[in-house]
Chains A and B, each alone.
Chain A
Amino acid sequence: MVETAVREPTRVRSNSVVVLGALISLCVVALMSIVVGSNQLPLDAVWHALFHYDGSYTDAVVRDARLPRTILGICVGLALGLAGALLQGATRNPVADPGLLGVNYGAAVAIVFAGVLFGVQAPTALIWFSFCGALGGTVLVYLLGGSASPVRLILAGVAVQATFVGLNQAMQVIDTNSLDKMRYWLVGSLANRDVPALAPLLPFLIIGVVLAITAARGLNAIALGDDTARGLGATPGATRLRALLAVGLLCGTATAAAGPIAFVGLMIPHLVRMLVGQDHRWVLPLSALLGPVLVLGCDVLGRVLGSPGELQVGIMTEILGGLVFLFLVRRLWGVRR
């Protein structure tokens, strides 16, 4: 008891340093996301556009293209990082990731069906289809996989995903038109999104974030095991439900806004736990801060590597995250056996 009382302030202090570092790196990456591109901008031009907007060409580039893209990247990264931390906490599964759980293809199937069956083409309407699809995919996977064992949840995700992919391909084979649209949508990207049209999604993002933050204490209890948690007066079932609802909302908004971006939710919480330990009151906010750093960083990297075109951010996270996933499985399962 005495020991924790002594330790607590230093922990808070060191964690505050980490949060400060995360904030600074977020600012740096956001600035890079505005500066770097096929049209490199000097810093003073960016400053001018942000604070002394006068409608010149570079000002228009910053305000109409780079800035919305950066804001989109921040929102998507925040949602995905937070969703990953929630999912890993709620299922006590170190390799849980929204991208592995049928979320992406749930959204994809909803979009394809919207186009082919209902003739919906307007981006504003498609957002809602992809949102519902992502939410539906999450619920379906959870219903099938339960939370009994980590492997089951992943496999349930794979199973649902495989089914969705099949449905999707069926539609694409029948209708070449939908293929032409889908093949671009299926690779998550921050480019060419109509950001103002995405504003109606914002309330869902906010609700998701609030639900997530309020679940932190409950997740700490779940980490001790369900029985212990119940003994301490927590309600694991209710916490889990709240966390998964938040995951559905967060992933739904992110996927509707930027298409499928996998593995951000897998990598970020691991990094965060290395930095600040297991306390979800720290893990959740920091995941929300570092998620955008990763998404924007991958986006910028994709622009640099792919120039004069660009590599979509979904590809970058998939390659990077896939390697991290393989590493984690090797390490964690090596120890357990």
Chain B
Amino acid sequence: MKLRAGAVALGVRNRAVLVVLGMLVAWLVLAVFAIGTGDFQLSPGGVLRTLAGDGSRAEYLIVVEQRLPRLLVATMVGAALGISGAVFQSLTRNPLGSPDIIGFTAGSATGGIVVILVFGGGQLPTALGSVISGALTAVAIYLLCGKDGLGGYRMVLLGVGLGVVLTGLNSYLLTRVMVEDAAQAVTWLVGNLAGRGWESVGPLAVVLVLLTPVFLVHSPGLRLLESGEQVAAGLGVAVTRVRLVLVLSSVALVAVAVAAAGPIAFVALAAPQLARRMTASPGPNLFPAAVTGALLVVLADFLGQRLLSSSLLPVGVVTGALGGIYLAWLLLMERAKNKV
């Protein structure tokens, strides 16, 4: 009996490892293609050669100065959104409890819009604005949840309410300015990676590197929390503290991701779910979610640039359209399950 359980666990773990490896390979292939295509075409071999330092000056400029940073930003934004989505879904024990749905993304967006509209934008101020307002939104939700603490449906509903108010505020702000400013704000609001250079890579990388150990340390606690607060507390998890730390770190991840690329829709919602289904293993699946998120954003950005020949679609538009369909499917599946 014991042996068999061990074998099953090994099988599950092997599958998770294989899935993650497969996605990493897919990411690499996609990355080489994404860097190689565009107005200036490069063969995959040419891309690798340039990255190794053997390209011409023009190739170096295109690859290292323009396309590589964009790819890295896409990857890290996707990973950040994937992790934070996994944490929130795990904490709320609800596949729909992701930052997009519960208002953090809208909150970060408000700050960004205010900065763009009032102070004229700029990448660093916009980033700061969205980080600050994202944090404020989190504090607001925390205070609203009050003594019952974070987690569960109540937090989801409170977040939805706050998100609606903030979305209304965002629409209002857009009516108060010139159309050029509004266009700039909307381009950011939809989630956009165009023109992201090395200066966006730095902050993302720093935050990801700093926070990864936090998630690693707390991931077992998170996994126990999934089986209920009492169970987790009984097994020695400091429920309140673990929750608070995880929520704050995930909000920080969302905020830097939004700061770098705008609120890209649905990645935080879809990545953890897809990861969980592919690995077929229980628990929050933080690492697979991160890889899935990265793959999704890179793929969506690639598609956005290639799908229509007439115009470049921002990455958020692609994820929005794909995510909407996915979400509808998710709701229908849940409904079918409830009926059984």
Contacts and interface: CB of A to CB of B under 8 A. Distances in A.
A312 B182 CA distance: 18
B316 interface: yes
Nearest to B97: A155
Contacts, number: 156
Contacts of A314: 168
A144 B325 CA distance: 12
A167 B182 contact: no
Contacts of A237: none
A184 B179 CA distance: 11
Contacts of A146: 335
A202 interface: no
Given A145-B331, A155-B331, A169-B186, A99 B164 contact: yes
A333 to B, nearest CB: 4
Given A158-B160, A169-B316, A183-B174, A315 B168 contact: yes
Contacts of A100: 160, 164
B225 interface: no
Contacts of A169: 186, 189-190, 316-317, 320
Interface in B140-176: 144, 146, 148, 152-154, 156-158, 160-165, 167-169, 171-172, 174-175
Interface string A317-337: 011001101100110011001
- What interface size band does chain A fall in? 35 or more
A259 B62 CA distance: 46
A160 B320 CA distance: 11
A95 interface: yes
Interface in B220-244: none
B164 A330 contact: no
A123 interface: no
A315 to B, nearest CB: 5
A46 interface: no
Contact of B148 (A312, A318, A334): A334
A325 B156 CA distance: 13
A312 B169 CA distance: 11
B183 interface: yes
Q: Most chain-B CB neighbours within 10 Å: which of A95, A152, A170, A312?
A: A170
B157 A163 contact: no
B265 interface: yes
B172 A315 contact: yes
A176 B179 contact: yes
Nearest to A149: B338
B107 interface: no
B58 interface: no
B168 A151 contact: no
Nearest to A155: B96
Given A183-B174, A187-B171, A337-B148, A174 B311 contact: yes
A36 interface: no
B206 interface: no
A148 B321 CA distance: 27
B320 A162 contact: yes
B323 interface: yes
Nearest to A159: B327
Nearest to B141: A326
B324 interface: yes
B164 A318 contact: yes
A254 to B, nearest CB: 16
Contact of A170 (B165, B321, B327): B321
Given A162-B266, A333-B157, A325 B171 contact: no
A326 B168 contact: no
Contact of B172 (A166, A262, A312): A312
Q: Most chain-B CB neighbours within 10 Å: which of A99, A179, A314?
A: A179
A325 B331 CA distance: 23
A179 B328 CA distance: 27
Contact of A329 (B158, B314, B328): B158
A169 to B, nearest CB: 4
B291 interface: no
B59 interface: no
B301 interface: no
A8 to B, nearest CB: 37
B299 interface: no
A156 interface: yes
A312 B325 CA distance: 33
B316 A330 contact: no
B332 interface: yes
Contacts of B171: 183, 186-187
Contact of B156 (A155, A184, A319): A155
A173 interface: yes
Given A179-B179, A330-B146, A151 B153 contact: yes
Contacts of A166: 190, 265-266, 316-317, 319-321, 323-324
A319 B165 contact: yes
Contacts of A163: 320-321, 323-325, 327-328
A266 to B, nearest CB: 10
Contact of B190 (A170, A180, A263): A170
Nearest to B187: A173
A201 B33 CA distance: 53
A25 interface: no
A276 to B, nearest CB: 26
A295 to B, nearest CB: 15
A324 to B, nearest CB: 9
Interface in B39-65: none
A154 interface: yes
A15 interface: no
A326 B172 contact: no
15 contacts: A100-B160, A146-B335, A148-B335, A159-B328, A162-B100, A162-B101, A162-B323, A163-B324, A166-B319, A169-B189, A173-B187, A179-B179, A183-B182, A322-B165, A326-B161
Q: Which 8 A-B pairs have the closest CB atoms?
A: A166-B320, A163-B324, A322-B165, A318-B168, A170-B317, A325-B161, A169-B190, A333-B154
